[in-house]
């Protein structure tokens, strides 16, 4: 199995697509956002720093992300492929990621860019709900992705919550950050021939079909 990286603006559906890849290929999904959200709950100096940074929509310090990515990729379950999502977020992180991969003897694999129009993202961001138990993602603004019972996960019955950074104000900062910092990363992966662009304005099923076609090659 190949390694897969997702690059996408906030609320583009990369979490949902990652879940579908995990279900089909049984490889781990490594989301720096998820790991940082866990750290943000810790009652420590770093926990407080991460919590405040996530709330503001800014990026946490690069050094923190390097450590957590390398430690996670070293684990046995990554040996047969993994999905990395949310990292790298700027060109410095992309260069560091190349070094980490080299050190661990991994290839970059496929870099999948999911493009979505900003207006669609705004609608998705305010409707996104996540299961606090199994992390399944729903959207109350979209009939196809809404839970069957209000605020309850269809899969495990867990409670759904709204991420504290899923509001329009924080979205604006995160979106600007994406445009400004992520564009050079896209260029970097285009140059090394690893980039594949997918139209994320389409349905979940059609986007996954396209992604599946790429990764199963």
Q: Which residues are catalytic?
A: 14, 89, 128, 163, 174
33 binds ligand AMP (CB under 6 A): yes
Q: Which is nearer to ligand AMP, 79 or 163 (CB)?
A: 163
Site string for ligand AMP, 67-106 (x = CB under 6 A): -------------------xx-x---x-------------
Contact stretch for ligand AMP (CB under 6 A) within 58-66, 119-127, 140-148, 199-207: 58-66
26: its two tokens: 């049984």
Phi-psi region of 57 (alpha: psi -120 to 50; beta: other; left: phi over 0): left
3-state SS, residue 196: strand
CB 9 within 8 A of CB 116: yes
Q: Is 40 in the site for ligand AMP (CB under 6 A)?
A: no
Structure tokens at 198: 């997918």
- Helical packing angle, 204-215 and 14-25, nearest 10°: 50
| Residue 69 backbone zone (phi > 0: left; psi -120 to 50: alpha; other: beta) | alpha
Please tell me whether residue 60 binds ligand AMP under the rule CB under 6 A: yes
- Of the candidates 2, 22, 51, 53, which one interacts with ligand AMP according to CB under 6 A? 53
Interacting residue ranges for ligand AMP, rule: CB under 6 A = 10, 32-33, 36, 53-54, 57-60, 65, 86-87, 89, 93, 174
């Amino acid at each position: 199995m190949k390694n897969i990286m997702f690059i996408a603006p906030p609320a583009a559906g990369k979490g949902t697509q990652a879940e579908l890849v995990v279900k089909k290929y049984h490889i781990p999904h490594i989301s720096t956002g998820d790991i940082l959200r866990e750290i943000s709950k810790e009652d420590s100096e770093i926990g407080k720093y991460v919590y405040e940074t996530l709330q503001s929509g800014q990026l946490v310090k690069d050094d923190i992300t390097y450590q957590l990515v390398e430690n996670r990729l070293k684990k046995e379950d990554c040996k047969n492929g993994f999905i990395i999502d949310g990292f790298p977020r700027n060109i410095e992180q992309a260069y560091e990621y190349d070094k980490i991969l080299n050190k661990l003897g991994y290839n970059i694999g496929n870099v999948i860019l999911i493009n979505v129009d900003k207006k669609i993202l705004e609608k998705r961001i305010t409707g996104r709900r996540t299961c606090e138990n199994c992390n399944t993602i729903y959207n109350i603004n979209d009939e196809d992705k809404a839970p069957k019972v209000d605020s309850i996960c269809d899969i495990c019955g867990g409670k759904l919550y709204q991420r504290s950074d899923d509001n329009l104000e924080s979205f604006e900062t995160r979106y600007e950050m994406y445009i400004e910092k992520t564009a050079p990363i896209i260029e970097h992966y285009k140059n090394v021939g690893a980039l594949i662009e997918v139209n994320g304005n389409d349905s979940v099923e059609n986007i996954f079909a396209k992604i599946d076609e790429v990764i199963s090659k």
